[in-house]
Amino acid sequence: MLMPMTMPASHLAPWPYPCWIAHRGAGTLAPENTLAAFRLGADHGFAMFECDVKLSADGEPFLLHDAELDRTTNGQGASALLSWDALSRLDAGSWHGRAHAGEPLLRLEALSRWLQGLGLMVNLEIKPNPGDDVRTGRVVAERAAALWARSEVKPLLSSFSVSALEAAAEARPALPRALLLERWQPEGIDEATRLGCCALVVHQAFLNASRIEAIHAAGMKSLAYTVNDAERAGTLWLSGLDGMVTDRVDLFEPQARLGACPGLSLSSDVLMA
């Protein structure tokens, strides 16, 4: 019988995170996972961000979603084959537009300094390169614990990879963790509980009130990705959702600035105040 690694953190401490989370910095409005994106998301009033963290060939945690460099940089092939020195020389902005030409890839350390300097929060998705789940989970957890050692609110670590979350839990059990699901899996609640997770993050299309209630009954928070429609956001909030990851930092700016929940109806007087 598999025993839980720890009790879900929601039993131990209040949930410190806002309900709005900017996807990869600022969704599609800036080159994803770059400092330019985080700056834009913050300009739109977001206090928390989601980003993807993997390791370079020499073990440096940095931000990139894909295993390959081709889509979002001027590099080619697997990022896992390059040292951080080589990765740091790539252009991660020109693919998005001339205004971001020369924007570099972002090290976790640099992101940490920027976020903490502004009092902002983050969800670090552990995004291992193929076959590197355990090392990535361990290193990201160790580095996050060190970088945020003096911060009252720690990063929320999440992953689709159970192996990565297990390694993170073993390395730094005190850091909050969340299991990501591409679709609803009833056994996902048990898996997240075993991993000592404080939240379950599910693709928005597969969440409803009863499933959110089941997550809460297990002592965890319920989060959804990626919610880009105002009506859908309202439905999920009224169903009891605790947090939403969104690309639409422009659409949801008023609510994010007010710290308001997605389904809250805001009068024009409030928005113009």
Please pick, among 11, 23, 96, 203, the residue that the annotation labels catalytic. 23
Nearest CA-CA partner of 122 in 91, 147, 139: 147
Contacts of 164 (CB under 8 A, 6+ apart): 126, 128, 133, 134, 136, 137, 140
Packing angle, helices 133-147 and 108-118, rounded to 10: 40
The verdict on whether 100 is a catalytic residue reads: no
Please pick, among 44, 65, 100, 203, the residue that the annotation labels catalytic. 65
**Chain centroid offset of residue 252 CA:** 17
Instruction: Give CA–CA dist 182/93, Å, rounded.
Output: 28
Query: CA torsion angle for 152, 158, 164, 170 (degrees, to 10)?
Result: 30
**In this structure, are residues 42 and 118 in contact, taking their beta carbons and an 8 Å threshold?**
yes
Where would I find the H helices in the chain? 35-43, 84-87, 108-118, 133-147, 162-171, 186-194, 209-217, 230-238, 253-258, 268-272
The verdict on whether 11 is a catalytic residue reads: no
Amino acid (1-letter code) at residue 19: C
Length of the chain: 273
DSSP class per residue in 131-184: T-HHHHHHHHHHHHHHHTTT-SSPPEEEES-HHHHHHHHHH-TTS-EEEEESS-
The set of catalytic residues is 23, 65
